[in-house]
Amino acid sequence: MFLKSRILPLCFAAAAILLATPSQARDADSVFFESVAGTWKGPGEIVAGKYKGTKFVCNLEGDPTATKQSGISLDGTCRVGVFNQKMSAVITRKGKGYTGQFLDGAAGKGLDIVSGRISGNRAVMGINRKTLDGAMIARLHDPETMNVTISVKVGEQMVPVIGMTLKRTAGRVKTGLLR
């Protein structure tokens, strides 16, 4: 049902979305991004589909984009067993949403970020790869822990396929966001 080569990029894109840094303006999105900037590490697991039970670990670091728009440039690696995969992403605010790509985007072997919104300590991003649509929901549980769930649309339902928990290893810690 789900190919490992398509599901893992969704997971890594989710982490990429969460490591953005603030723009000059102090709007709600910038506050969220500031609270999750830095270096993160953590395990994840594919929870549905053909590769259900596959475990992985990611080491990710986000830095501000070189543009005037709020966004992220991400670099890092994720490991499945003995295999390491380089990860990269660029995500930029566009109007009230977000655009960007993970790896080389949906036209290549990655995926596209097609929408997004942030509310308090939670980010929801729309993701797409050709005919696969989905969403990433990330919640900053506390200043040191972020939970990420990636779901894909199957028929009319969103089915969770990846879950992961990232722990901060270095970087900024802002607590004003948590309630």
Other Cβ atoms less than 10 A from the Cβ of 14: the count is 30
> What is the separation of C-alpha 52 from the centre of its chain, rounded to a whole number of angstroms?
20
Cα distances (Å, whole numbers) of residue 157 to 9, 109, 128, 135, 139: 21, 25, 16, 12, 21
For residue range 116-174, list pLDDT tens digits in order: 888 888 888 899 998 889 998 889 889 899 898 889 999 999 999 999 999 998 765 54
- Which residue type sits at 102? F
pLDDT band at 27 (very low <50, low <70, confident <90, very high): low
SS3 30: helix
Q: What is the mean pLDDT of residues 102-113?
A: 88
Looking at every residue in the chain, the average pLDDT score rounds to 78
pLDDT band at 21 (very low <50, low <70, confident <90, very high): very low
The per-residue pLDDT for 36 is 75
The per-residue pLDDT for 175 is 46
| Domain annotation for the chain: domains and CATH numbers | 4-169 (2.40.128.20)
* pTM across the whole model: 0.76
